[in-house]
């Protein structure tokens, strides 16, 4: 007995004409699933290669910056810090 038999309510002789399409649909589904798994595996390998293989660029612009200028000071602190 075929795995594609009795999948409609049509008589068996008419139903047999649809077996070709059912088989093609199943094969296409399997092929698409395999291609999806392979593509996701390739993408994962590339993503991990980039993540672990490429060193990030170090930005050294802020090393020479005076961070005291960024702090908010009250007017009293500014007046006290100025020489008289």
Distance separating alpha carbons of residues 51 and 5, to the nearest angstrom: 51
Q: What pLDDT, on a 0 to 100 scale, did the predictor assign at position 50?
A: 94
Q: What pLDDT was estimated at residue 53?
A: 93
Q: What is the pLDDT of residues 37-68, one digit of tens each?
A: 999 999 999 999 999 998 888 888 777 777 77
Backbone angles phi, psi at 74, to 5 degrees: -80, 160
Q: Residue 75: pLDDT band by 50, 70, 90 thresholds?
A: low
Q: Quick count: other Cβ atoms within 10 Å of Cβ 18? A: 13
Instruction: Give 5's pLDDT tier (boundaries 50, 70, 90).
Output: low
* Span 24-36, pLDDT tens digits: 999 999 999 999 9
**Domain boundaries in the chain?**
9-57
């Amino acid at each position: 007995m075929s795995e594609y038999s009795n999948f409609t309510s049509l008589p068996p002789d008419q139903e047999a004409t649809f077996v070709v399409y059912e088989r093609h649909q199943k094969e296409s589904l399997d092929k698409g699933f395999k291609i999806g798994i392979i593509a996701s595996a390739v993408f994962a390998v590339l993503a991990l290669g980039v993540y672990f293989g490429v060193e990030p660029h170090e930005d050294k612009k802020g090393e020479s910056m005076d961070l005291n200028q960024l702090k908010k000071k009250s007017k009293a602190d500014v007046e006290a810090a100025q020489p008289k």
